[in-house]
Structure 1
Amino acid sequence: MKFHVLAILVSVVLLGGFVLPATISAAPSDNSDAAKIPSPLTKTQEEAFTNMALSDKSVRDSIGGKDFEGVGVGFFTENIDVENPIWQPVVHLNVKDTGSVAAFLDPSGQEVTRIEEQPLVKAAINAAFASNYYTGASTVNGLRMTTTAPTYAVDATTNMATLFLLNAVENNADVGKLCNPAFYATSYWAQVGLVWTTNARSVMWADNATQCITQSTGINYVAGHVYENKIYTSGGTWYIVAKDTNTGSTFTKTRTGITYVVFENSEFNNGIFFENHNTGTSWYTKYASPHEVSATAKYSSNNGSTWSNWQSGGKQDSDCGGPRVPSTIISGNVAGGGTATWDLQDMSALDC
């Protein structure tokens, strides 16, 4: 859904007591959150929410007169762990040369309650990576990553962009087209996790449709909190889910129209990686000692109903499109129920 700045004052489609779509059927206990996640929106519903957001002056002020593009509508709840969580629609917009804007609507979808902005960070573009990726033999349609947010010192004097992400790649994808919206259906790639920038730390998601530009989830970043990120498919739909397990605050985004609903095995971009966009090497000191991040992981072969330990996992480093080599940055391995740890001082030496 593309817009030009001159078309910003669109007519508003009033939703008049909009009721959230019925949730999907209940799942076993280790994925009980799935029973509370809203079903995918129709194109008409997404357009209505987007039009509603654009009718708000504060949203237009955030766009700042620039060209922009609607890249989807997700949902946020303050606490998914209650019996009947209250979901807010979240309208996501890419703003040319600026980054992204997320407009959070009230549960009825008729009023903007807050706005969050992300600086322009393109996940997986011109960066260095250290990846722990799935190499097991199962047909996988779900990956899960659990990590504790490290203490990070915001410092406006240091240009900064690093990410710690769960990634899932569509089967038979062309890796060179993963961030390209034109190949959304055949080379789909979803990402969700933590991002650290010059002035912020946040929980984000991205995919082909956003051109891998990071989008806000609305979940607060709190050092020491445990974040669970999941990407899985069910009923022909891809689900991207982020959750703060300490508070229950949760974001979800669904995508349809993707050719495959299983993931590419033994693919560097199908797992967990730390991503470095910086050119200097001192940025790692912004993370509290011992300057590292860690994660555990599971996979699912039954659409996220149950989760199992990875049978095996590869570990490789890659320097800005260069050759992939055995990792010297990651210790441990998420396979077998283990923990992988990324040494950020070593990671700072892997740059563009």
Structure 2
Amino acid sequence: MRTISLFCLFVLASYVFAKPEADLTGQADFEKFRNRLPWIWQSPRYFEPPKVKDLAWPTDAVDRFVLRKLEAEKLKPAGPANDRVWMRRVYFAITGLPPKAEDIQTFLDDTSRNRKRTLVRALLDSPHYGERWARHWMDLVRYAESRGHESDSILPNAYRYRDYLVRAFNTDLPYDALVTEHLAGDLLENPRLHPETGANESILATGWPFFGEMLESPVDLRQDECDRLDNKVDVMSKTFLGLTVACARCHDHKFDAIHQRDYYAMAGFILSSSYRQARFESMEQNKAVAKKLEELHRDHLSKIVKAFTVAARPVVDTLDDDVPVRPKLVTSAIYRVEGKHQIVADYTQRH
């Protein structure tokens, strides 16, 4: 019981000290609150590398920050790894796979000055690099090929997003382009295309919001919809912002300068997207065909209308005068537009 009381006291104290300041109207001053938060809300600043005693060990400015802390604790940095150990570390870090025995021997026999740089470059060019590092991004967007819960139904074509990520990492896609494709890959005027198939690559990134658990027969449909939306907001904010925006679902965030309205603004953005299966492989080809047809329509419609008018005029002129309504061709223009209909000739005019 005492433990529970102490825990409740700790939670209450955390809430009191972390709660944003409020003015006389009860509105929280998030700007003042944000200024007291950790470095995540602060603009980047330059720090002069600290002075250290061992000037031989650091190879760059970052090493000097590390060494300063070690020297403060009266510790010495570990010695350099030998070539065999270094090679295994590099292999596991970049590709997640151990080196082959023959590759180890080749590296050990190499006496060139840039052999380490050459090895790192070769591993970065390996397809296993994308397979290794795409896994970290898939963890962020909670990638899965099934829906979980009771039936754990299969999520069709989920692997296409996985393969998209592997290709993105292997082609060294810039981070800003990766984020743009994830948030608006279906709206890009000039999407990236697969170098071999010509398929739309950018649109594949938009599948990330539809991973996650899904109930097959929820009792409360609205509650289930809100819970799935909350999961998407949570994943989106953590992945792209590093923030727990989902904490503001029911109230303003207690520890970050995030309003409840920020949560629902992000939720509205996500709700504007709908889930559907589409044949993306032929998407760009179909767009090209549609564009070509539109050009043909624009270039040849007037010629077709003119030819039709010339061909129809002799027939119309030979019609008997007893016909109650005799068509009178439009002579001021080849055709005119009313709404969405193109009228070739006006047959409602009498003599």
TM-score range with shorter-chain normalisation?
under 0.3
What TM-score comes out, normalization by structure 2 length? 0.23
Larger relative contact order (Cα-Cα within 8 Å, sequence gap ≥ 6): 1
What TM-score comes out, normalization by structure 1 length? 0.23
Structure with the bigger percentage of strand: 1
Structure with the bigger percentage of helix: 2
Please say which structure displays the higher CA radius of gyration. 2
